[in-house]
């Protein structure tokens, strides 16, 4: 793994962030895949996906959230309270889930007690829970409100031309990431899921132009590789993951993660935004309609069809359904996924975990070993053999 990528994955204030700041650039953080990053980029600022991998305690986060809460937004608040987001000039919180929505009021309340931990620009961005003609239209209105808010606070202009330029730059990233994804999901996968995920995460923590240049260089080197990686082909599903140690633990057990549907992964990083017509309408259509998340009401059939097709397309021999503890959305849907995938003859492992560095690596490794043994017992990973074995 290249040093620039490793640093972007493991350090919040990485070299790209600091170079941007030293050049007088401004940075706006966001915590969710439904945030149209092109709007921030068109305003001349760096979109930075909020992460909390440097967290070692949740003493601050738990003070405002309480104990029975998903640990991802709690850890983001912890990092904010420790003033590790001091490089941010702004932050935009959206209602990805109820716990993420509460980051808005919890962060504001924490700032009352610890003045200065809130960026000077702090906004809430509302996202509908349905994909309909009227919800897409309403969402476009929210994007325009966000543009107006950024323009007013930072004294910038976000024109349609600037939006179209940003869309083109990020579409280039998505196209390159699609090429990258194919290298780990093809019949002879030669890119590990760990390395692929590291690259996906790095793209959320640096300017799009720098990321595209880095990605083109990386892809050039990868195309020279020919040897397929050994191991059972697995699909990873569920809650947000920005810690590549989980990927590493799975693959060191004898697997290859050939695809994923997790936030920070390929799920929301490859669908393009159309580049014709009204750029705001195009952003609304893409961000509301393409990101497949259990927060969206009445959309389970589409999400399951996407997941089943992905498993079949990549030749996944098993599926890991993971969720952060107390993540109601993914925790609930994973149970239904497990039922329907197993009925289709696809072996599944469902497990809970905490956000951040793996403190229970041994338990996770034991569960992975059990899944791999089960796949092997099914006739060399054959779903047909596994289904026949169950019918006896």
Contact in structure between 229 and 192 (CB atoms under 8 Å): yes
What's the pLDDT score for residue 357? 59
Q: Which of 156, 178, 210 is the last residue of a domain?
A: 156
| 34 found inside a domain | yes
d(CA 256, CA 178): 18
Contact in structure between 316 and 258 (CB atoms under 8 Å): yes
Question: Between helices 160-185 and 208-222, what is the axis angle to 10°?
Answer: 20
Q: How confident is the model at residue 248 (pLDDT cuts 50, 70, 90)?
A: very high
Buried b (16+ CB within 10 A) or exposed e, 152-170: eebeeebeeebbbebbebb
Query: Within this chain, do residues 44 and 152 fall inside the same structural domain, yes or no?
Result: yes
Share of the chain above pLDDT 70, in %: 95
Q: Is the dihedral of CA 219, 221, 227, 232 positive or negative?
A: negative
Query: Within this chain, do residues 134 and 48 fall inside the same structural domain, yes or no?
Result: yes
Q: Which residue has the higher pLDDT, 185 or 358?
A: 185
Query: Within this chain, do residues 236 and 145 fall inside the same structural domain, yes or no?
Result: no
Contact in structure between 68 and 48 (CB atoms under 8 Å): no
Which structure tokens are listed for 70?
């998903």
- Largest Cα separation within the chain, whole Å, is 70
Q: What is the CATH number of the domain that holds 99?
A: 3.40.50.11890
| 189 found inside a domain | no
Question: Mean pLDDT across the stretch 124-137?
Answer: 95
Contact in structure between 90 and 121 (CB atoms under 8 Å): yes
Question: Mean pLDDT across the stretch 274-299?
Answer: 93
Which structure tokens are listed for 147?
């543009």
Among residues 81, 43, 42, which one has the least CA distance to residue 60? 81
What's the pLDDT score for residue 208? 96
d(CA 385, CA 376): 10
d(CA 214, CA 220): 10
| 1 found inside a domain | no
d(CA 333, CA 57): 29
Mean pLDDT of the chain: 91
Q: What angle do CA 272, 307, 230 make, to 5 degrees?
A: 95
**DSSP-derived secondary structure letter, 317:** S
What's the pLDDT score for residue 359? 59
- Burial of 17 per CB tally in 10 Å (0-12, 13-18, 19+): buried
Query: Within this chain, do residues 42 and 129 fall inside the same structural domain, yes or no?
Result: yes
Query: Within this chain, do residues 376 and 274 fall inside the same structural domain, yes or no?
Result: yes
Query: Within this chain, do residues 244 and 385 fall inside the same structural domain, yes or no?
Result: yes
The count of other CB atoms within 10 Å of the CB of residue 377 is 13
Contact in structure between 128 and 138 (CB atoms under 8 Å): yes
| 210 found inside a domain | no
Which structure tokens are listed for 293?
């998340």
d(CA 50, CA 267): 18
d(CA 72, CA 132): 29
| 200 found inside a domain | no
**DSSP-derived secondary structure letter, 355:** S
| 149 found inside a domain | yes
- Total domains in the fold of the chain: 2
Query: Within this chain, do residues 144 and 51 fall inside the same structural domain, yes or no?
Result: yes
Q: Is the dihedral of CA 75, 76, 82, 84 positive or negative?
A: positive
Contact in structure between 40 and 54 (CB atoms under 8 Å): no
Q: What is the CATH number of the domain that holds 253?
A: 3.40.50.11900
| Segment 2-13, tens digit of pLDDT | 899 999 999 999
What's the pLDDT score for residue 378? 65
Among residues 239, 250, 277, which one has the least CA distance to residue 193? 250
What's the pLDDT score for residue 391? 33
Q: Which of 156, 183, 198 is the last residue of a domain?
A: 156
| Segment 61-102, tens digit of pLDDT | 999 998 889 999 999 999 999 999 999 999 999 999 999 999
* Helix residue ranges per DSSP H, the chain: 3-10, 15-22, 37-42, 59-65, 71-81, 98-113, 133-154, 160-185, 193-202, 208-222, 244-252, 279-290, 300-314, 328-343, 361-377, 383-391
| Best mean pLDDT range from 175-179, 264-268, 279-283 | 279-283
Query: Within this chain, do residues 238 and 103 fall inside the same structural domain, yes or no?
Result: no
Consecutive H or E run containing 348? strand 348-353
| 357 found inside a domain | yes
Q: Which of 156, 189, 204 is the last residue of a domain?
A: 156
Tell how far CA 18 is from the center of its chain.
Answer: 23
What's the pLDDT score for residue 179? 92
| 175 found inside a domain | no
Query: Within this chain, do residues 99 and 240 fall inside the same structural domain, yes or no?
Result: no
Expressed as residue numbers, the domain containing 381 is 230-391
């Amino acid at each position: 793994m290249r040093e620039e990528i490793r640093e972007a994955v493991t350090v919040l204030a990485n070299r790209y962030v600091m170079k941007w700041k030293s050049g007088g650039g401004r940075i706006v953080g966001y915590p969710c895949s439904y945030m149209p990053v092109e709007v921030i980029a068109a305003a001349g600022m760096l979109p930075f996906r909020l992460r909390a991998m440097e967290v070692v305690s949740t003493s601050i986060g738990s003070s405002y959230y309480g104990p029975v809460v998903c640990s991802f937004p709690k850890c983001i608040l912890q990092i904010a309270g420790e003033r590790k987001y001091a490089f941010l000039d702004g932050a935009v919180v959206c209602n990805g889930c109820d716990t993420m929505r509460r980051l808005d009021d919890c962060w504001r309340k924490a700032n009352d007690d610890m003045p200065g931990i809130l960026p000077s620009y702090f906004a809430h961005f509302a996202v509908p829970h349905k994909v309909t003609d009227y919800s897409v239209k309403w969402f476009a209105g929210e994007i325009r409100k966000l543009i107006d808010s950024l323009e007013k606070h930072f004294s910038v202009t976000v024109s349609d031309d600037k939006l179209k330029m940003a869309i083109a730059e990020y579409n280039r990233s998505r196209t390159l990431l699609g090429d990258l994804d194919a290298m780990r999901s093809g019949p002879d996968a030669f890119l590990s899921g760990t390395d692929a995920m590291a690259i996906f995460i790095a793209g959320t923590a640096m300017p799009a132009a720098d990321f595209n240049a880095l990605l083109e260089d990386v892809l050039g080197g990868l195309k020279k590789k020919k040897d397929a990686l050994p191991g059972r082909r697995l699909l990873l599903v569920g809650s947000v993951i920005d810690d590549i140690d989980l990927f590493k633990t799975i693959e060191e057990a004898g697997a290859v993660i050939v695809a994923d549907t997790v936030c920070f992964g390929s799920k929301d990083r490859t669908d393009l935004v159309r580049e014709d017509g009204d750029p705001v309408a195009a952003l609304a259509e893409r961000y509301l309609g393409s990101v497949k998340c259990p927060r969206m009401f009445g959309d389970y059939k589409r999400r399951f069809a996407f997941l089943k097709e992905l498993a079949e397309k990549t030749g996944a021999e098993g599926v890991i359904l993971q969720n952060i503890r107390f993540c109601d959305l993914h925790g609930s849907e994973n149970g239904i996924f497990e039922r329907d995938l197993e009925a289709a003859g696809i072996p599944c492992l469902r497990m809970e975990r905490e956000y951040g560095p793996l403190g229970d690596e041994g338990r996770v490794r034991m569960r992975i070993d059990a899944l791999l043994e089960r796949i092997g017992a099914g006739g060399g990973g054959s779903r047909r053999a596994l289904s026949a074995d169950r019918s006896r």
